[in-house]
A and B are shown apart, each in its own frame.
Chain A
Amino acid sequence: KAGVTQTPRYLIKTRGQQVTLSCSPISGHRSVSWYQQTPGQGLQFLFEYFSETQRNKGNFPGRFSGRQFSNSRSEMNVSTLELGDSALYLCASSLDRGASETQYFGPGTRLLVL
């Protein structure tokens, strides 16, 4: 079974631009979560989608948004990019919600904001 895939793998943008990242979960997985990883803050939870609805959100500004499609694929969008948005963005999928549902991570999208 194919793992979680993320596109693009690398991206360079300039301040003020917006960016859309894509995540395809493992087949059959319905929950998709997004995380941001930076050297200073480590891995931080952004949001989680299940059945096309955002179920929970981490402590990030409204410039960070996402959505999930009926096939469980998910996208996240960052508007008005800032230098501090440079990070590795990780997507994780799980079969369902709940503490016993293991999250499997994709390889990430590395975003550089200049």
Chain B
Amino acid sequence: DAKTTQPPSMDCAEGRAANLPCNHSTISGNEYVYWYRQIHSQGPQYIIHGLKNNETNEMASLIITEDRKSSTLILPHATLRDTAVYYCISASSGGGADGLTFGKGTHLIIQP
């Protein structure tokens, strides 16, 4: 699986859009980009994933650059409950078989 790089921490004002970047410059063609978040002491929560097209669901949007070397997770209207550690993960065709490789993630703090 490709290694991903994320900033260790970010702040965002409540009500504003939170844009979380992720670099995955060595990603291969069959690797998906997954985003999870973990609120303290809870299990990671799935947010969204994509291969090459931008994706949107009820929680967030995922923007993947055309060369697939980076992506951005967008939380459109951040609330205090969005404070969590956000993990960007690339998963190869083995997917769950090889296990997800979690880095240190980005600690997103939503400020009131």
Q: Bound state CA distance, A22 and B41, in angstroms?
A: 18
Q: If the complex has contacts A42-B102, A42-B104, A99-B32, are A31 and B96 also in contact, measured as CB distance less than 8 A?
A: yes
Q: Do most interface residues of chain B lie in helix, strand or loop, or is the interface mixed?
A: loop
Q: Bound state CA distance, A107 and B43, in angstroms?
A: 4
**Are B102's CB and A90's CB within 8 A?**
no
Q: Which residue of B lies closest to A110 (CB)?
A: B41
Query: Which residues of chain B are within 8 angstroms of A42 by Cβ–Cβ distance?
Result: 102-104
| B94 interface contact, C-beta 8 A | yes
Please give me the 5 A-B residue pairs with the lowest Cβ-Cβ distance, nearest first. A45-B99, A99-B95, A105-B43, A43-B102, A98-B95
Which chain B residues have a beta carbon within 8 Å of chain A's beta carbons?
A: 30-32, 34, 36, 41-46, 49, 51, 87, 91-104
Which chain A residues have a beta carbon within 8 Å of chain B's beta carbons?
A: 4, 31, 33, 35, 42-46, 48, 50, 55-56, 58, 88, 90, 92, 94, 97-108, 110
